[in-house]
Structure 1
Amino acid sequence: MAHREFKRKIYAEFARIGNALSSARRLELLDLLAQGPRHVEALATETEMSVANVSQHLQVLRQARLVEAERQGTKALYRLADKHVLDLWLTLRSVAEERLADLGQLRRDVDVYDEESPIPRDELERLFLERNAVLIDTRPSGEYEHGHLPAAISMPMDELPERLHELPRDRPIIAYCRGDYCLFADEAVALLREKGFEAHRLDGGWPEWWAEDRAVAGVQ
């Protein structure tokens, strides 16, 4: 194979990954799959896309070997191909955060945006030991069951208003969700503070914690 032909073909292969990541909709699907496996129908409901549209986007991701599918009867269960795909998504997001000022403004424009710095992940153990902090996972229960931070209590955001009585008022409550661009934890912190709790958001969420090879609980 000639040198130029080799170059053309090899960069065409690299471009398959770039093409798969070039859709905002496909990035959202990757972000959801970073929380755990999902059926097409569940992804369609979450993203408010049609099943057909979701299926088309998933096929592009599958052709680029970024996701895998497992047939379960008449349905297909999709998951990230491996942790390298999660690392790729988080790296892409990190580059965007460094290069695109609009991202920070979009985050600040959210009604529940909290200007207080989130709790660093490395500080969590200290808060457990020194202040007996309570950690809550505000994602849907199915995502919690797939995998969660050790000692976290499943308290989905849509259940939180009715479960406030389960939380202690004399200990700090730390909330996390799907990551920096998920609003469940922000909403939880806002509600808890309104009701008189000391509440903070954890920096990042499940994907960031998992990507750093920290201890986890649940089924992976």
Structure 2
Amino acid sequence: MSKDNDLNDLAERAGALGNTHRLTLLEILKKGPLSVDELASRANLSLPNTSRHLQVLRRASLVEAQREGKYVFYRLGEISEYKALIAALRAVRERNAAAVRDLRLDYLRAREQLEPISREELLSRLKDDAVTLIDVRPESEFSSGHIPGALNVPLGLLEACIGQFPSTQEIVAYCRGPHCILSFEAVAALQALGYKVRRLEDGLPQWSAAGLSVVTTP
């Protein structure tokens, strides 16, 4: 087989995976062989549509068909190969998501108007009641553990909670750590509204690991 033919063949097989309905059928077939009727029902597809997708998968050698009486049953061609393909696709997705997140973090860091605050400085300012501390994680995470004195203001509710913040007091936002964008987003939004705001240099996991007090909400 020539190189061009080989690449064309690979492209055809890869293309067979490029459809949500076909991936759904493959996921269903992981549990064992099924008839076209049963596959159509479980995938919530019409019989003709299911048959068309199965033919594409069969040409790509991803499924095999066997007739039993008047019914045709399909099964995965090789489940270990399929699992390896899906694992590879997920790895690419995760790598891409991490790259996008890192780019976003770099962008937000570049826009920061003030240096992040350290744990030591935050502790001192909390003792002096000189700062408003907000935890911008979801409520469920806040309830599981948070810095004493923090207000829970999930990022999506930030605008609605603006009135809670003293306009003359500095705000400090924190979230899950230095690689989480929630506190960056909160700082950018509040700075745009004219508030003096910084973020904690790390997050709750690092705060807890340092042996500092963490409280939970029943």
Q: When the two structures are superposed, what TM-score results if normalisation uses the length of structure 2?
A: 0.49
Q: When the two structures are superposed, what TM-score results if normalisation uses the length of structure 1?
A: 0.49
User: Which of structures 1 and 2 has the bigger CA Rg?
Assistant: 2
